[in-house]
Amino acid sequence: MSEAVLGIIGGSGIYDLPGLTDIREERIESPWGEPSDALRIGRIGSTKIVFLPRHGRGHALSPSDINYRANIDVLKRAGVTDLVSLSACGSYKAELYPGLFVLVDQFVDRTSRRESSFFGKGCVAHVSVAHPVGPGLQNRLAEAAEAEELPFVRGGTLVTMEGPQFSTYAESMTYRGLGYDLIGMTAMPEAKLAREAEITYATVAMVTDYDCWHELHGAVDVASVVAVLHENADKARRLVARLAADFPAEREPCPAGSHNALDNAIITAPAFRDPALLAKLDAVAGRVLKSA
């Protein structure tokens, strides 16, 4: 296996990652377009860290405007093997209260206007996202949260809506009735694309609100989300610092198959592959295309 490189995607309210040493900023070009921002590359202890603010510094990008493919592509080009997404989320369960961190393990994709695959005409591939979160990476997050005595639970289903408006009451009640735990606007297609790029992925859902279903809470608004996030920023930093400090030097194989997701995924026969698309796939699928 290769050197482990830990990527961190900062969501709403997390536009920087203090505590990195040997820090430099790098703007990596992507054939998939513009990523959200320059990468900030540094170290925590001996672990290489690559940080990307999902909405860009200053939060200029709405969830629908984020170029998820370019983001994952530049993280792959920077060598990221394991990726932690920090995400502000609404809760559908009374016991998942604002301030709690949820290490989610499942996603439901309700987005509608996003490019959700690197593959397509001229190079068709089907990867499994049955288990989209890397269990090993999630274990490490749980150990880090325990060591830092942060309030967290393990497991949960996060539905991703298109937004940017928050849900209607009827939508909120429907998702709650379906048994989903959390709602956000960004985990999909990010998690799917990470799997296509053979990057191990895990989400830390930081509960910020009860959306609009809870009779004792009003409708969610940005100000209350940001207020909770500010209270949580220090906890998120401590979680990442501890995770990085205890991270292995070498990439670990992922029991969910993140490290070799493309092994049998490409179905287009070599003679029928589009050279232009193959060129764009150099980083994401280079491992399997080089050996084809």
Ligand X SMILES: Nc1ncnc2[nH]cnc12
Q: Is the Cβ of residue 47 or residue 232 nearer to ligand X in the bound state? A: 232
Is residue 181 part of the contact set for ligand X (CB under 6 A)? no
Question: Total residues contacting ligand LNRAV4D5 (rule CB under 6 A)?
Answer: 12
**Residue 56-95 contact track with ligand X, rule CB under 6 A, x = bound:** --------------------------------xxx-----
**Residue 205-234 contact track with ligand LNRAV4D5, rule CB under 6 A, x = bound:** -----------------x--x---------
What one-character DSSP code corresponds to residue 270? G
The kind and range of the H/E element at 105 are none
Min. distance of Cβ 87 from ligand X in angstroms? Answer: 8
DSSP letters of 210-229? -TTT-TTS----HHHHHHHH
What's the token pair of residue 43? 């170290």
For the question of residue 209 being annotated catalytic, the response is: yes
- 92, 16 in Cβ contact below 8 A? no
- Phi-psi region for residue 42, left (φ > 0), alpha (ψ -120 to 50) or beta? beta
Count helices and strands (H / E) in the chain. Answer: 7, 11
Distance of CA 172 to the CA centre of its chain: 23
Q: Is 54 annotated as a binding residue?
A: yes
Min. distance of Cβ 22 from ligand X in angstroms? Answer: 33
Which residues, 187 to 246, sit near ligand X by CB under 6 A? 208-209, 211, 220, 225
Query: Which residues are catalytically annotated?
Result: 209, 211
Binding residues for phosphate: 12, 54-55, 87-88, 186
